[in-house]
Structure 1
Amino acid sequence: MISTHNQNDILGIGLFVATALHAFVILGITFKPFDPSKPEYQQQSLEVMVVRQPKQQPEEDEQADYLAQVAQSGGGEKRLQEKPQTAEPPAPPQAAQAPPPLQQPVSQTQPLTTAQSEQQAAVENRIVERQPMPTASQLLNSKNMEIARLTAELERKSEAYAKLPKRKAISASTKEYKYASYLDAWRRKVERIGNLNYPDQAKRDRLYGNLVLHVAVKADGSVDQIRVLHSSGHKILDDSAIRIVRLAAPFSPFPNEIRKETDILDITRTWQFLRSGKLNAE
């Protein structure tokens, strides 16, 4: 059995050792102020790289330059020691921006000058000012003047029309004796002159055909106008008909019963150049 004296010695030694250890620990730890500029206090970052799982695992390279989640094989002709980069998803397409609306030109009203303002006021006053109503006498005079003007204009037109020659159109179908008699005498003269001056070329080339000729004859028997209304198809025959009329002119003057009511006779006949070399004016 251990005596009380020995127990006290052991307890004293334990306390001494414990006190010495605590003093060593306390005195051995030093405290310094925090300085973020010093390298040891700068924040260390941890870079995490996510690699998509390939369809086929490449063979592991025992001499790999970097560590990754899965084995990767490099590509290219030149071997560069670079860290593999994580493929970033493509940026979403931006919606097409509508073009800015066109700015409408702002109409600027120019201020009116004093002279313009006075002129505009005078015009407005003249518009507002009412004209006096015409009296019955003024209306009657105005109406009479308008009637006189219309009457004078009608008289001028009547005089101009009266000066125009009086014309009468006749043809083979005319049955009135005084015109039919004159027309028959005109036809016989044309046929006689035409057969005497029948175109030689038409005889040589055996040309024949019909044409419609209009001849305007004045009261004294002279020719006013000659027109071919329908061609025969041969220029030599058309020209020969016109030449025969000029050779036969002048014709007989109008008799008194025709001269009283007619200044010009418009004679339309069909001229026939026959194969036999004769002229017939129907």
Structure 2
Amino acid sequence: MSVQASPVASEAASAASAVAITRLVTTANRVENNLPNELNAQFRKQQEIASLAAQITKQNHIYEARPRKTFAAASGVQASVVDYVDAWSRKLEQKVRNKRPVDASGNSIYGQLRVEVEIWGDGSLTNARLIEASSIRELNLFALELLKNAAPFARLPNDMVNYAGNRSQVLVISRKFIFSTQVKHADFPETTNLSVVP
């Protein structure tokens, strides 16, 4: 004997099936509509990551291309660099004996200031600046002109390396210049001495 569902039960089942199918279609449509947005978002993230990676690579290349520097003030610098800085200082001190700094009226001036210079491997001066200026403008200008006129300097030591142990192309020297005026005798003009100290 077969059992048949009542027409009411069949209609209820059909209605339930229709609702279920409608829900499935709606869910499928939502997934389908959101899929391109999710893929676009993932693609945009991948593009951002690739762009950042390219920027980092470019910055690394720029950093690697910069000349490696040795700082003469650093502890543990090689003896050859210490000798080089001593000879550099003596050369500048000798130059001042031949030309003294004067003010606008021609009077000798004195004082102190601090300079920082960068010397390339061949001895050329690539940069010179005042770190601590004197209160006397003419003395500041004289110091920068002195450095410019004293260049080129001797070639840098071949064994010069930076803090990481890599061969350096530039030596950075920071030193205090102390200008002092001295009268040796009343019959002789006053002289100016320069002391270059750390």
- TM-score normalised by structure 1 residue count: 0.45
Equivalent position of 2:7 in the other structure: none
Unaligned runs of 5+ residues in structure 2 are: 1-29, 183-191
Mean CA deviation greater in 252-261 or 238-247: 252-261
What is the RMSD of the two structures over their aligned residues, measured on CA atoms? 3.6
SS in 1 for 2:138: helix
SS in 1 for 2:33: coil
Out of 199, 204, 208, the position equivalent to 2:110 is 208
Out of 77, 91, 96, the position equivalent to 1:189 is 91
Q: Identify if the C-alpha distance between structure 1 residues 145 and 193 changes in structure 2 by more than 3 Å, giving closer, same or farther.
A: same
- TM-score normalised by structure 2 residue count: 0.62
Q: Identify if the C-alpha distance between structure 1 residues 155 and 279 changes in structure 2 by more than 3 Å, giving closer, same or farther.
A: same
Equivalent position of 1:28 in the other structure: none
1:1-282 pair list within 5 angstroms:
130-131=32-33, 133=35, 150-171=52-73, 175-201=77-103, 205-258=107-160, 261-276=167-182, 277-282=192-197
Q: CA deviation at 1:212?
A: 0.8
Kindly provide the amino acid, as one letter, of the partner of residue 170 in structure 1: A
SS in 2 for 1:131: helix
Unaligned runs of 5+ residues in structure 1 are: 1-127
Mapped to 1, the partners of 2:98 and 2:171 lie a distance apart of 25
Structure with greater strand share of residues:
2
Q: CA deviation at 1:139?
A: 10
Mapped to 1, the partners of 2:158 and 2:136 lie a distance apart of 40
Deviations 1:98-149 (A, max 9, x none): xxxxxxxxxxxxxxxxxxxxxxxxxxxxxx7852548xxx999998777655
Q: Identify if the C-alpha distance between structure 1 residues 199 and 174 changes in structure 2 by more than 3 Å, giving closer, same or farther.
A: farther
Mapped to 2, the partners of 1:200 and 1:141 lie a distance apart of 69
Q: Which has the higher contact order (CA 8 A, sep 6+)?
A: 2
Q: CA deviation at 1:162?
A: 0.9
Q: Is the 8 A contact 1:217 1:265 kept in 2?
A: yes
| Pairs aligned (count) | 153
Q: Is the 8 A contact 1:168 1:264 kept in 2?
A: yes
SS in 2 for 1:274: strand
Mapped to 1, the partners of 2:75 and 2:98 lie a distance apart of 27
Q: Identify if the C-alpha distance between structure 1 residues 154 and 173 changes in structure 2 by more than 3 Å, giving closer, same or farther.
A: closer
Q: Is the 8 A contact 2:101 2:110 kept in 1?
A: no
Kindly provide the amino acid, as one letter, of the partner of residue 171 in structure 2: L
